[in-house]
Amino acid sequence: MLSLYVHIPWCLRKCPYCDFNSHELRGEIPADTYVAALLADLEQELPAVWGRTVETVFIGGGTPSLLPAEAVDRLLSGIRSRLSLRPDAEITLEANPGALERGRFAEYRAAGVSRLSIGVQSFDDAQLARIGRIHDRGQALQAVDEARAAGFERINLDLMFGQPGQTQNAALADLDTALALQPGHLSWYQFTLEPNTWFHRHPPALPGDDLIAAIQDAGQARLAEAGYARYEVSAWARPGHGCQHNLNYWRFGDYLGIGAGAHGKLTDAASGQIRRYAKQRHPRRYLQTAATPQRIASEQILGETDILFEYLLNALRLESGFRREDFRAATGLPVEPLESALQRPAEKGLLETGEWIRPTPRGRRFLDDLLADLLPD
């Protein structure tokens, strides 16, 4: 499977917890210039994927909803004219409720976007202010209403728990509000302090491990009761609403990456070599180099040990896990190194190693420890 990731690097204000490649916008977003650069970047990638069909597109950021609809339309039209894009491709766009103009969702839908991912994070105004978000509860609720009115049937809500100063009741109230909105998909994940962020340098007080565990247990029960199935560590969906783009990542599929700081992973059909690359991170530098080989800031051919660990790092996030034939097909490697890597966590009771290889309930709870056991000595 081949996917395409498109990175929009600007936001109105950098959140203090965010470690993504995002830059505060100074003035107007250079939409025309940036879309032209994205398409020039894509043209450089084409020889590596001739004859292959792109099945999903994900426009992430930053804040992609800063782009006017006509820019998204030009971008998607340009992608279709250069690539073989599956007619019913899942095309996702991330949106910030605080960076939207009324009516824009309908225009995105008309441009071909089929799935929206709305960064809510919380429905509590005080909590939103505490974590530096630019929207409030009313804007979040309005964004969901407008998405539905625009005809979007596939909607994801991003929601964090374990935020600074958050109680169990507050975290579950957020979840209950999200469930009442009945989105097809919920990304419900734990707030963490990431390196190179404001909160990492000035850490706020976070809920303790026991409180986090209690929130997780109660929240997972509510999600299941509401008809949502967990298919990845932090992804819950109703039937037919799983994110196909992210599933491709977790199954170790291939993906092109265009845009400032975008990453890609491609498998060479002839040699079987797997190449990872990253584009220039700073928007100014990216715009200068998008049509040249210098747009690539770094690249690496993965060795067998890297391939093994990266596959496990992704596939063990899936609730279903994976089979040995899935591993062989995705990596081109024999299963002997896999069996050796699985031995230690299996002996600790963190991993099932039958037909399907997946974390045990204990392994799911302590997934970081499980993954650490898989690292080569």
pLDDT tens, N- to C-terminus, the chain (377 residues)? 999 999 999 999 999 999 999 999 988 999 999 999 999 999 999 999 999 999 999 999 999 999 999 999 999 999 999 999 999 999 999 999 998 777 899 999 999 999 999 999 999 999 999 999 999 999 999 999 999 999 999 999 999 999 999 999 999 999 999 999 999 999 999 999 999 999 999 999 999 999 999 999 999 999 999 999 999 999 999 999 999 999 999 999 999 999 999 999 999 988 999 999 999 999 999 999 999 999 999 999 999 999 999 999 999 999 999 999 999 999 999 999 999 999 999 999 999 999 999 999 999 988 888 988 887 76
Contacts for 65 with CB less than 8 Å, ≥ 6 apart = 93, 94, 95, 96, 99, 100, 104
Question: Under DSSP, is residue 236 helix (H, G, I), strand (E, B) or coil?
Answer: strand
Decide if 122 contacts 176 (C-beta within 8 A): no
Per DSSP, which regions of the chain are E strands?
Answer: 2-8, 10-11, 23-24, 53-61, 84-95, 115-121, 154-161, 185-190, 229-232, 235-237, 254-258, 263-267, 274-279, 296-301, 322-323, 351-353, 356-359
Token output for 318? 């899936």
304-374 domain in CATH 1.20.1440.130? Answer: no
CA 145 – CA 40 distance, rounded (Å): 36
Give domain limits for the chain: 2-248, 304-374
CATH of 2-248 among 3.40.50.2300, 3.30.70.1070, 2.60.40.10, 3.20.20.70: 3.20.20.70
Cα 51 from chain centre? 26
CA 112 – CA 76 distance, rounded (Å): 7
Decide if 13 contacts 24 (C-beta within 8 A): yes
